[in-house]
Amino acid sequence: MSRSVRTRPEGSGRALSEAYDTALLDLDGVVYAGGSAIEYAVESLAEARAGGMRLAYVTNNALRTPDTVAAHLSELGIPTGADDVITSAQAVARLISEQVPQGARVLVIGGEGLRVALRERGLVPVESADDDPVAVVQGYGGPELPWGRFAEASYAVARGVPWFASNTDLTIPSGRGIAPGNGAAVEVVRIATGAEPQVAGKPLPPMHRETILRTGAERPLVVGDRLDTDIEGAFNGEVDSLLVLTGVTDGAQLLAAPPQHRPTYVDADLRGMLTGQPEVEEAGDGGFRCGGWTAAAGADRLELDGEGEALDGLRALCAAAWTAAGEGVCELDGEKALARLGL
């Protein structure tokens, strides 16, 4: 995929699991939600794997180790090894290792996932700003992370020690709702010091590089539910993406997506990996057709006509909205059209 402006979802005559050699799958909102497998995920992933597609699980959460993530997936019925899991902790550890000497001390503000990743790269985790660290790394440490850990980071960063962050996601989903993520914790240290960290996680290039180095993928497909991490990460890595509607992104957000947030393909869930994707065709007079639906951008609203599968209507609406928006965010009213599709 090139970085040119996408104006419609693409079609595929082959099942995506056949057209791509590796799926780079986000976890929460794609494979599971609240710790339980999302409907159709287990069966779809098993079929894709049986057909020869490699499955790699890519997460911005730096708290859990690859072993822990793999064990959780295996318990859900998705056989997974630690080598199949790539975390932002691994990406940031590699980023640090390229800038500091082997065996260097790194102040860790986060959980076990960061410590394991640093040791893997030959670095030594330490707990205090007074332990002479040559770098500070900050990753999600869970809801019980003491406030004093942010003070340790601030002391070191204020002294000029280079600062790294696994990711800057402001929120993280939990079984009880949306909780502050590592990005919120990074803001605490930024406010205290005025400094800016080097960031490794999605959607930035270090995370994509880590996934390619660890999987050896030649034709990867990013599969995610978030426009601002998964899909933008694919855009930055210049690879194709599949957005599934089992997580945080809804139809209205998809229609309003700026160029870097527009997925190559759109489907309801992971069953979309096992099928081809319908073509979105020009229908004349600025309209677009997909399946039994035709959509066009009017003067102040999106117009939809036809019948059939709701997702085909959504794909046609995307083409109309994205073409009308050009380089910017679509401000056209698509609420009535989406309501007609039940989305």
Catalytic residues: 26, 28
DSSP states of 317-329:
HHHHHHHHHTTS-
Q: How far apart are CA 106 and CA 118, in angstroms?
A: 8
Q: How many CA atoms lie within 13 A of 80 on its CB side?
A: 26
- Say if CB 26 and CB 230 are below 8 A apart: yes
- Say if CB 27 and CB 85 are below 8 A apart: no
Provide CB contacts within 8 A for 263, sequence distance 6+. Answer: 9, 227, 231, 234, 241, 242, 243, 254
Q: Which of 177, 181, 179 minimizes the C-alpha distance to 169?
A: 181
Angle between helices 205-215 and 88-97 in degrees, nearest 10: 100
Q: How far apart are CA 150 and CA 145, in angstroms?
A: 9
Helix (H) or strand (E) run with residue 224 in it: strand 220-224
- Where do we find the tokens 């910017």? 328
B/e letters for 270-304, b = 16+ CB within 10 Å, e = fewer, are bbbbbeebbebeebeeebbbbbebbbbbeeeebbb
Helix (H) or strand (E) run with residue 43 in it: helix 41-50
- Say if CB 59 and CB 107 are below 8 A apart: no
- One-letter amino acid identity for 330? C
Tokens of 180: 């502050």
